[in-house]
Structure 1
């Protein structure tokens, strides 16, 4: 099994409002990263209209974590595709093996690749319609 299994909620432009609401109701500590805060990448330029959208947020309380983000305007949003499970692993081999097993017969949104936040990351929907994100812990 992975080192973590975390619910990941996706919103349609109102993620920061939702995170603030959940933090007010549930308590805990929150961190928010906007698309405009990410390091520049010429291969994936960030359009001005999405720079203030939430790329990733985490609400932590008593060892529990909920993750959040906004969807990009070009990606379809509907209730039902707004929750995913995030699996994390210590090694690239574990990450790759789980990606290959879970994504078989599914649909890729982002193929397994290195990102600025993880040595390996992928996002996909499995053959049963469940959304997943797999990632490898950053090297320390």
Structure 2
């Protein structure tokens, strides 16, 4: 079960990923943009979000590093734009770890099914560290 760094950018993700790809001579990544998400009439996608990167990743020196842009209008602070992503096949572990970190912390997104995962959620623990939990299969 890998724990992977996840870096966020304020609309400059594509430029950053190209730079890191060049520096570390990695393969070109597959990229998902906000416009690739399933449409939700209750939450229409703003035009300025369409071309931003929703998710991509590079393998750098044997470690997967994941990247995305923030949604337009979301706060972005250099230095705190890194989260730790936990990917696992254990639903019980996702729930146990998420709820333990949420104690005296702040839940960003409750555990729920998403179009990319049967169970996903985000939490910032009491020490200010942001975590993403992603159930890879069910």
The answer (yes or no) to whether the contact 1:9–1:84 under 8 Å persists in 2 is yes
Task: Name the counterpart of 2:78.
Answer: 79
Contact 1:13 1:53 in 2 (8 A): yes
Say if 1:5 and 1:85, in contact at 8 Å, map to a contact too. yes
1:135 and 1:35 mapped to 2: Cα distance? 19
**Which runs of 4 or more aligned residues in structure 1 lie more than 4 Å from their structure 2 counterparts after TM superposition?**
none
Which of 6, 9, 12 lines up with 2:10 in the alignment?
12
* Distance in 1, Cα, partners of 2:67 & 2:137: 19
- TM-score of the superposed pair, with normalisation by structure 2: 0.91
Aligned partner of residue 13 in structure 1, secondary structure: coil
In the alignment, is the contact (CA less than 8 A) between 1:92 and 1:120 conserved in 2?
Answer: yes
Q: Does 1:111 align with 2:110?
A: yes
> Is 1:52 matched up with 2:51?
yes
Which deviates more from structure 2 when the two are superposed, residues 84-93 or residues 5-14?
84-93
CA shift for structure 1 position 91: 2.1
How far 1:45 moved relative to its partner?
2.8
> Tell me, what secondary structure is at the counterpart of 2:15?
helix
Instruction: State the match for 1:95 in structure 2.
Output: 94
Aligned length: 137
Q: Secondary structure at the match of 2:132?
A: strand
Equivalent residue for 1:136? 135
- For structure 1, list consecutive stretches of 5 or more residues without a partner in the other structure: none
TM-score, normalised via structure 1 length? 0.90
In structure 2, how many angstroms separate the alpha carbons of the residues matched to 1:101 and 1:44? 31
CA RMSD of aligned residues (A): 1.5
Match of 2:25?
Answer: 27
